[in-house]
Amino acid sequence: MLAEDFIENWDLFLAPYHQAVDELKLKLKTIRSEYRINGKHTPIEFVTGRVKTKESILEKMEIRHIEPEDLLIGVQDIAGIRIMCQFVEDIYIVAELIKERQDMKVLLIRDYIKNHKESGYRSYHMVIEYPVHRADGMTKVIVEVQIRTLAMNFWATIEHSLNYKYSGMYPEHILMRLQRASEAAFQLDEEMSEIRSEIREATYYFENRHD
Ligand code: 0O2
Ligand code: 0O2
């Protein structure tokens, strides 16, 4: 189906995106279970996913002046997967797992952890291409994967709902507090990573001591 024709049949247009999100969630949750079965720390805490609604796609196209024929390139998050991790280190482990897979092709990476957004937003984004097998053949679907820690998710979730209220036009004092909260979330991640490596060292020492 051509992107220009999508307005004719939204359900048909969005069906492969729904399938991609369902399949990817299952595959990522399976990775989590595998780590757990092997008694290892899982780099994936939990996974969520959604397909943008028709209204939300049309709104983004209008705001960004995207023509129907440019929809597939212009709106890369029609399908979105979000992976939450305990530690920042886990994010890069998950990113590597995705890069190595044969069933996902990484098209683009935006590392908003190394370079956070002006808003204070931190996350690791990957735009991937994922093949979906349908009754009428195979179609490649673009999916945006956001990988973040629980602290980054906490901040982003609250900022996202505030954004609705203020339509992005924050009063100065709210903006300042949001940036400070983002720094606090970053510090929390740093502290937790420190604690984690100390626990690891202690475990290593304990397991290797010869009394
Ligand atoms: P679990 O492990 O039993 O909780 P679907 O109904 O299939 O479209 P799903 O997966 O039920 O989708 O819902 P969604 O919205 O995609 O993802 C929500 C998943 O994230 C649920 O897990 C929630 O329990 C989990 N979740 C949300 N917030 C948190 C959180 O703060 N911590 C943890 N650990 N998990 C959270 P599941 O899939 O129901 O599985
Ligand atoms: P939704 O579905 O409501 O989350 P560009 O801005 O053009 O460089 P683009 O295409 O916007 O790039 O992609 P980007 O910035 O890599 O990722 C967009 C998505 O990341 C957003 O989706 C948000 O989910 C998330 N995001 C980016 N910046 C922020 C931020 O400052 N705060 C929060 N809370 N989330 C952010 P959408 O499209 O906004 O829609």
Q: Report pLDDT for 72.
A: 85
d(CA 90, CA 83): 10
Q: Report pLDDT for 99.
A: 98
Q: Report pLDDT for 4.
A: 57
Select from 73, 84, 75 the least CA-distant residue to 49: 84
Q: Report pLDDT for 202.
A: 75
- Mutate which of 46, 85, 90 for ligand 1? The one with the most ligand atoms within 8 Å of its CB, which is 46
* DSSP helix/strand/coil, 22: helix
Q: Report pLDDT for 162.
A: 93
Residue numbers in the chain where pLDDT is lower than 70: 1-7, 204, 210-211
Q: Which atom of ligand 2 is nearest to the CA of 60?
A: 38
Cβ atoms of 45 and 91 within 8 Å: the answer is no
